Amino acid sequence: MENLDGSQYCDECGAILGGNIFSKQSESVRPPETPDFQSQMSEQPVFHPANITSVGVSPLYEEFPAAVMPLVNEESPKNKGINATLVIERGESIGTEFSLSAKESFIGRWDADNGIFPDVDLDAHDPEAKVSRKHARIIHEKGRYSVEDLGSTNGTFVNRGRRLIPGNAHSLNDGDEIIVGKTFLRFYTNE
């Protein structure tokens, strides 16, 4: 493929043709070099981390403080990030971990056709499809955890007790066993 005469870039690969294009740049592309244009540009505040110094603050901060300062999460460092973990304890995927960091974490099987994308996706770890698409959810509220069955076909069990009644939250403690379908999970909290 041949490039057109006067091309600055290769049509195939994008490489600069004929040396430094900036030395050949036409005057019509360059910004006007009038004193008015230069003074207008120097008056515009430009945010850059280097504009904030230990001696002073960028003029932009005085006008738009939220634009300069990072958002600060008021939660303690202990509550940031991963709050709990579910670990598979039985089957082909022993040791697979799922991190829980949201107030609600849904357990189920991935189903793109129906728009179901659970936080704890057991689709690859449930060959017999005993876990419902929307099986259960773990709730983190006021420093406490609970699990709730969402009307699953094969049920949710905690510490091999009775099947959970759908819609009723059951309190969770560090080290509790949760069984969803035929998948055995161990719940660990980082709090």
Report yes or no: 122 and 129 within 8 Å, Cβ to Cβ: no
Residue 59 dihedral angles phi and psi, to the nearest 5°: -60, -25
Half-sphere exposure of 3 (CA within 13 A, CB side): 14
* b/e per residue 37-67 (b: at least 16 CB within 10 A): eeeeeeeeeeeeeeeeeeeeebebbeeeeee
Structure confidence at residue 47 (pLDDT): 46
What is the distance between the alpha carbons of residues 162 and 160, in angstroms, rounded to a whole number? 7
From first to last of its 191 residues, the chain has per-residue pLDDT tens of: 577 777 776 766 666 776 544 444 444 444 455 555 455 555 555 444 444 444 444 444 444 444 433 344 444 344 456 789 999 998 779 999 999 999 999 999 999 999 999 999 999 999 899 999 999 999 999 989 999 999 999 999 999 999 999 999 999 999 999 999 999 999 999 87
Whether the predicted model's global pTM rises above the 0.75 cut: no
